[in-house]
Amino acid sequence: MSAENKIRETVTTNDVVLFMKGTSSMPQCGFSSQVAGILNYMGVNYKDIDVLSDDTIRQGIKDFSDWPTIPQLYVKGEFIGGCDIIKDMTMSGELDGMFAEHGVSYNKDAAEEIRKANNK
């Protein structure tokens, strides 16, 4: 199976997928750590894909999304963005709305705590 087909299958068979450097429990870069931290804190159930363990996926995800950087977040098969976009969406509440709209379970109180902690 090609990298593109593996990626397509992964993002369409899982509600939330994070292509990252490292894993959700052990991120290997600061940007991946920030996005995984947001998702973990909000209690989102997601599939983490370590691009460092497979060079074909590492390059393949960049080609698939036409986005040059990692991490990359997908919700219900749709590419959402990288670290800065996810942080902005978290702070604006847009990420919460997207999860709610797509029926993705998350902790609303935790999302609010993130915004409060970062608006001081």
Structure tokens at 72: 């990359």
CA distance 26 to 78: 25
**Which CATH superfamily, name and number, covers 3-118?**
Glutaredoxin (3.40.30.10)
Q: What is the distance between the alpha carbons of residues 40 and 17, in angstroms, rounded to a whole number?
A: 13
**Per-residue pLDDT tens for 45-64?**
999 999 999 999 999 999 99
pLDDT digits (tens, 9 = 90+) for 72-107: 999 999 999 999 999 999 999 999 999 999 999 999
Question: Taking the model in full, what pTM does it have?
Answer: 0.95
Q: Which two tokens stand for residue 80?
A: 């959402």
